[in-house]
Amino acid sequence: MIITSLAPSHKNKDNQHKAIQSWRKHDTKIVSVNHISEIEELKNEYDVEFIEPDRTGWGIFGRHYVPASELLKVIRKEGSGLIINSDIIIKDLPKFGNNPVIFNRHDFIDTMDKSILFRSGFDAFYLRSEHCNLAETNLCLGQCHWDYWLPIMLMQNGLSIERPVDAHIFHKKHELQYSMLNWEKTSTIFSQETGIKGSNQSISQKAFSHITSRLINI
C-alpha cells in the first residue's frame, strides 16, 4: 500500500499525476489522506482511495495539511505501507523486511538519467504496523520537519532504520511550496516534540546529523 496526502493546489500538478502513474506500476492500493473539503475536488481528478483524517493542521497553517501521525493510523490498520510525498516518482522498490526503511530522493530537471541525490531530506518511509506506535505530531506533509520527526521518533523507540543506497525514488525540481515563516513554525514544533534544542538552524542540523549517523545503508 502507498499512502500520501495529495495537494489540491499543487503548483506543479502534473508532477502529482506522473508520480501516481509510477506508483500504479507496483500493483498496490493507493490511499490519500485529505480533509473532506478537499476530497470532492480531488476525487474528480485522481482515481485513488481517499480517507479523512481525524484532524489537520488548519489551526497552525491556515490550510488542511495532514499531520504525519494521521498516515501512521492507516498503516496501523492495514499492516504495512509506504508513506510518500505526493510528487515523488517511484522507479522501483527494494524488498522490504522487518525494519523501517527510509528513502532519499534524486532530483532532476529534464530527465531522471541526469539526477542528483537530495541529501538533506527524506521523501518516503516504509513502515509496518508495529513501528507506528508513536505520539501524535503537528508536523504535516506538505510542510517541513515531518521527515525528520518520523525517523527521530522511530529511533527514540529503539528501532533500526535501513536506507537503500541505490536510486529508487525521483523528484522533478520546482519552486519551494513552503514559506520561511512556516519553516520556522515547524522547527519550533519539531523541537518541542522531540526535545532537540537550539536555534532553528542548529535544530535541523542536529536532527539531520543524529538521523544519518544511525541509518543502516543497504
Averages of pLDDT over runs of 10 residues in the chain (218 residues) are 90 88 93 96 94 97 97 97 97 96 94 89 97 97 97 98 97 76 94 94 93 96
Cα of 45 vs its chain's centroid, Å: 22
Percent of the chain at pLDDT exceeding 90: 86
Distances (CA, A) of 209 to 14, 53, 84, 106, 139: 34, 32, 22, 20, 20
Give the CA count within 13 Å in the CB-facing half-sphere of 19: 29
Distance (Å, whole) CA 23 – CA 20:
5
Number of Cβ within a 10 Å radius of residue 4: 26
Please name which of 65, 144, 29 lies closest in space to residue 20, comparing C-alpha atoms.
Answer: 29
Tens-place pLDDT, residues 45-103: 999 999 999 999 999 999 999 999 999 999 999 999 999 999 999 999 999 999 999 99
